[in-house]
């Protein structure tokens, strides 16, 4: 499987560069027709090489200039125009440098005196270069700008779709008959036996639903708020399962760290739902930092023989959202005794 994935990646990369080469050939031929009124000329190969290098630069630099622009952010048009101008000037300067280095190389090989370098450059090459720059960069920059614009829109559309799936799955997970049935059953028994505890149970249940509804539209929340939600959720589970489950949070919450909403709770719930837990062998769940940019959720691995039906989209959806929002992926590791998930965090400036 790994070899197949590597082969596909190499093939995709090769096709990408072949397309760039094909584009460079088309542009070089257009240059020849416009400047020399014929396809083949003495400088065609040099033009092809220079054009290919410039198109590669367009792709490499363009991704870095435009990747982070959010089409829905404030001042999107202004930011795009400013970055486009900076992008254009950067590529133009690099192209000029490449041209001068190439011309210097050929001039040195010809054996002429360096005193003739600038007069020769101005008389024989500069006009052709300027014309090629104006035509090629004009076409190339507009084309690349269009592709990056559409790519940004596609990424945002994908993010919206993932967010809708996340919202649906989150609400479906929390507000489902099984969850309500267990919660109401527990509450019913508490009302008759412990009125004080039943009141606290209602408060925690209300806090769980309120958190889901308030944060379902957010991309990131503070780690402190997420962990309070996890503790409220686990409190409800603990009332029902008692000594069968144990949660250890091995850190103090920090407000200058952000995380995907409902991510840790989902992992805790999955651990409880998919593993056997008894009083003799309780299920241990531990949450701790790995460095300052990852939060680790690990639990004992004792899988149930028969699991209730599940969409199995939780981890995949969380991973897709992390890739889109944080540009990173979750890490899933399964050992003989443990199931471990590492969730990326975002550090923010401390207030």
- The CATH architecture to which 220-347 belongs is 2-Layer Sandwich (3.30)
User: What mean pLDDT is reported for the chain?
Assistant: 78
Query: By the 8 A CB rule, do 190 and 201 touch?
Result: yes
Buried b (16+ CB within 10 A) or exposed e, 83-100: bbeebbeebeeebeeebe
Q: Is 135 helix (H, G, I), strand (E, B) or coil?
A: helix
pLDDT in tens, 71-115: 556 676 777 777 777 777 777 777 777 777 777 777 787 777 777
**To 10 degrees, what angle do helices 126-174 and 263-274 make?**
50
For residues 84 and 145, the answer to whether their CB atoms sit within 8 Å is: yes
* Tokens 């103090």 belong to residue: 252
Of 71-85, 206-220, 230-244, the range with the lowest mean pLDDT is: 71-85
CA angle 327, 329, 334 (to 5 degrees): 175
Q: Which residues, 6+ apart, have CB-to-CB distance to 171 below 8 Å?
A: 212, 216
The first and second tokens of residue 116, run together, are 């003739």
What region does 159 belong to: left with phi over 0, alpha with psi -120 to 50, or beta?
alpha
Listed by start position, the domains of the chain span: 2-162, 220-347
In the predicted structure, residue 140 carries a pLDDT above the cut 70: no
In this structure, are residues 255 and 241 in contact, taking their beta carbons and an 8 Å threshold? no
Per-residue confidence (pLDDT) for residue 133, from 0 to 100: 58
Residue 92, H or E segment: helix 76-110
Degrees to nearest 5, angle at CA 243 with 235 and 226: 25
Output helix, strand, coil percentages for the chain, rounded to the nearest 5: 70, 10, 20
Contact 272, 304 (CB under 8 A): no
pLDDT tens figures, 262-311: 899 889 988 998 899 999 999 999 999 998 889 999 999 998 876 554 55
Q: Which residue has the tokens 């040099």?
A: 46
Strand ranges in 129-192 using DSSP code E only, listed in sequence order: none
How is 284-311 classified by DSSP, letter by letter?
A: EEEEEESTTSEEEEEEE--B-SS-----
More confident residue, 192 or 158: 192
Q: How far apart are CA 236 and CA 206, in angstroms?
A: 11
The whole-number average pLDDT for the span 31-57 is 74
- Closest among 336, 328, 337, 248 to 296, alpha carbons compared: 248
- What Å distances lie between residue 219 and 119, 227, 280, 351, CA to CA? 59, 16, 40, 20
pLDDT attached to residue 292: 83
Overall average pLDDT of the 105-131 stretch = 68
């Amino acid at each position: 499987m790994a070899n197949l994935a590597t082969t596909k990646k190499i093939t995709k990369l090769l096709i990408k560069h072949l397309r760039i080469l094909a584009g460079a050939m088309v542009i070089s031929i257009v240059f020849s027709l416009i400047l020399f009124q014929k396809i083949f000329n003495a400088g065609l190969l040099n033009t092809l090489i220079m054009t290919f290098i410039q198109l590669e630069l367009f792709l490499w630099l363009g991704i870095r200039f435009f990747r982070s622009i959010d089409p829905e952010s404030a001042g999107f048009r202004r930011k795009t125009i400013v970055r486009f101008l900076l992008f254009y000037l950067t590529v133009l300067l690099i192209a000029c440098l490449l041209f001068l280095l190439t011309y210097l190389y050929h001039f040195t090989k010809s054996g002429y005196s360096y005193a003739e370098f600038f007069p020769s450059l101005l008389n024989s090459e500069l006009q052709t270069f300027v014309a090629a720059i104006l035509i090629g960069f004009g076409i190339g920059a507009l084309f690349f700008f269009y592709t990056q614009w559409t790519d940004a829109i596609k990424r945002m559309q994908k993010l919206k779709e993932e967010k809708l799936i996340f919202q649906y799955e989150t609400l479906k997970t929390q507000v489902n008959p099984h969850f309500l049935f267990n919660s109401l059953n527990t509450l019913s028994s508490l009302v008759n036996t412990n009125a004080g505890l039943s009141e606290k149970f209602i408060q925690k249940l209300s806090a769980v639903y309120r958190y889901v509804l308030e944060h379902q539209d957010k991309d990131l929340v503070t780690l402190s708020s997420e962990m309070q939600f996890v503790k409220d959720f686990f409190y409800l589970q603990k009332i029902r399962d008692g000594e069968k489950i144990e949660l250890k949070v091995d850190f103090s919450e920090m407000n200058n760290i952000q995380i995907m909403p409902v991510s840790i709770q989902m992992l805790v719930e999955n651990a409880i739902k998919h593993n056997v837990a008894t009083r003799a062998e309780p299920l241990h769940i531990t949450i701790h930092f790995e460095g300052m940019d990852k939060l680790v959720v690990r639990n004992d691995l004792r899988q149930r023989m028969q699991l209730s039906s599940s969409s199995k989209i939780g981890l995949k959806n969380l991973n897709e959202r992390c890739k889109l929002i944080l540009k990173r992926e979750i890490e899933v590791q399964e050992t003989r005794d443990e199931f471990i998930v590492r969730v990326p965090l975002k550090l923010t400036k401390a207030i």
